[in-house]
Each structure stands twice: as C-alpha cells, then as structure tokens.
Amino acid sequence: MSNIEQKEFENASTGSRQDLTRKKSGGRFKKRIIFSAIVLSCTALIMSGAAMNSYFSVSAPQGNGASIVTPKLAGFNESSRILEGLASENDNNGHNETNTASPEADKPAHSEEPPSATENKAAKSAPKVAYLTFDDGPGPYTDKIVEILNQHSIHATFFVIGNQLKGYEDSVKAASGSGNYIGLHSMTHNKKNLYESGSSAYFIKEFKREQKMVEKITGHSPSLIRAPYGSKPQINKKFRDDIVESGFKMWDWTVDSKDWQHTGKPDKVLQEIKRQVHRDVEVILFHEKKQTVEALPQIIDYLTNKGYAFAVYKPDRHFSVNFANDSRL
C-alpha cells in the first residue's frame, strides 16, 4: 500500500471512529433528555397532586358579611366527626339521641319514632350540620318552637333567661324532655350589670345562679352559656379566663338570622338564612319571636334541601364557637 493510500485509509478509519463516537454521544444525549423529561413530568405530577390535596383540605370559607365577627370553626374533619356521630345516633334504635349523648336531656317519648327520611338523607349525603339556637326564652313562643321541632324530628339548643323562668317551668321541662339542650343566657340580660362593673364577678354570679334554677327544673346542670349581645367586644382575655375557671363553655354564633330586627317579617328572616349559610357547620342565632316561629318551618326545609342535618349541643362533643377563637371555651 502506498503512503497516499495508507493516509487515505487512516483518514477514513479516523472519520468512521469520529462518526461512531458522535453517534454514541448523540444517543447518550438523547437518553439524558428523555430521562430529564420523565423526571420533570413526575415532579410536576407530584406537585400538582400536592397542590390539589392542599386545596381540598382547606375548610369552608369563614366570612359571613359585615354584620358579625365569624368565630374560628371546626373545619371539614370536625364537621365529619359531628355528622358521623349524628348518623350513628339515627341508626341507634331509630333515635336522634343516645343514652349518653347529652346529660342535659331525657329521652323524649316521641323519639321512639325514626327520624324523617329527609334528615337521614341529609346526614348521609354531605358533611354539613346546622345547630339551631334560640335566645331570650322562655316565653309564649317556646312551646310552639318545640312543637315545630318535634314535627320535623329534630332538636335545638335554647339559651334561656333566668328572670323569665317563673311561669314557664313546664315549657322548659318539656323542651328538655323532648331532647333539646337548655343552655344559659344570664339572669337579667342587662348589659350594664353584666359588663360595665369592670370585672367578670357579676357576670359569673348571674350564670351560676341561673344554672341552679335550670337544674331544679330539668334535673340537669347546664355548662353551656351564651353571653347576652355576644361576647365581642364586651368579654376580654381576663374575662374569658374567669369564665373558663368557673367551668363554663361559651357559644356565640356563625349566622345571625336578625329576627330581632325584622319584626313582623318572617320572609326577611328566611332571606337572612339563605344569604349567610354556607359553612359545613353552622350555629344559627334565633330569638323566641313571632316572626321566627312563622319562618321556622321554611328555614328547616331550606336547610334540609341544602344538605344539612340538624344537631343539638352535647357536652361530650363540645367544639368551640366564639368570636375570640378561644379553644378553651
């Protein structure tokens, strides 16, 4: 082989090796690109899943308009727990109450009947619960409210005023015997006496006195109170400390029906409910008034159709609903 042919052969060999090297390098480069694309895709999927999980873990929005300060509410997990308890009660011999659910209420005779189909359907279809609460009784509308509740096979929580108990002892006893919880709303409902003394002493004295009166009527000593006019801004940290030390729990509300404002206008009361209700757990403020009684059947139907089950306060399943977000109360 001549020198020229040898050089051409060497050049050809070198070129072939370089082509082969480039092909191998190109293959490795393509593999790296494919591998990187797979890694990035997996990362994106993981991050998307985490984001979706975070989104669906967020509890219901807490706003309720400018009319009230919304308390810290138990979120989805809490509402699920409440609802599971309610559903299990409904399956317990057809009762809405269990033997140990609420020491504040004897089993009603009428509770031997199974709850309504709408109540069972609401309890099993969505984790939403409504607590109906009635302030400023007892009075001429107490029996009618209890009658409406009985007709719908549901219960409610009543916050009664001590100075109004006389003459309505039978109504309070009947309400308690029907499965409703009788809570405390002070002796006088007098804002000056309760809040302007500079301490919690008079406030607590009134509630302790009323607690004994309710116990004498119903046979049960209630621990749940509602502060007249709500806890904000009247009740500060020191005030709350004293309430906790006294052994009371305190509920405000998440929805104000404003029935106190809409005298003679039950349709307005219903509109307020429709406007404000949206959380998984709602504690709805009513008062024992004529327009409330007139609107109540429609309100119950509306909440049922929105997927809400109805629950009564039970000390052993207490959860905090107060404007200060104080978990102790």
Backbone angles phi, psi at 231, to 5 degrees: -80, -15
Question: Which residue in the list 136, 252, 287, 326 is annotated as catalytic?
Answer: 287
Q: Are 179 and 86 in contact (CB under 8 A)?
A: no
Rounded CA separation 218/239 (Å): 28
CA distances from 230 to 104, 195, 211 (A): 23, 11, 19
Residue 256 appears among annotated catalytic residues:
no
- Continuous H helices in 58-135: 76-90, 117-125
Dig out the tokens for 122 from the structure. Answer: 């609401």
Residue 185 appears among annotated catalytic residues:
no
Backbone angles phi, psi at 291, to 5 degrees: -65, -25
Rounded CA separation 301/270 (Å): 11
Rounded CA separation 240/293 (Å): 33
CA distances from 211 to 221, 230, 284 (A): 6, 19, 23
Positions of E strands within 87-239: 129-137, 157-160, 181-184, 224-225
Dig out the tokens for 204 from the structure. Answer: 């607590």
Place of tokens 């409610």: 156
Question: Which residue in the list 135, 252, 259, 280 is annotated as catalytic?
Answer: 135
CA distances from 37 to 23, 25, 27, 47 (A): 21, 18, 15, 15
Q: Which residues are catalytic?
A: 135, 287
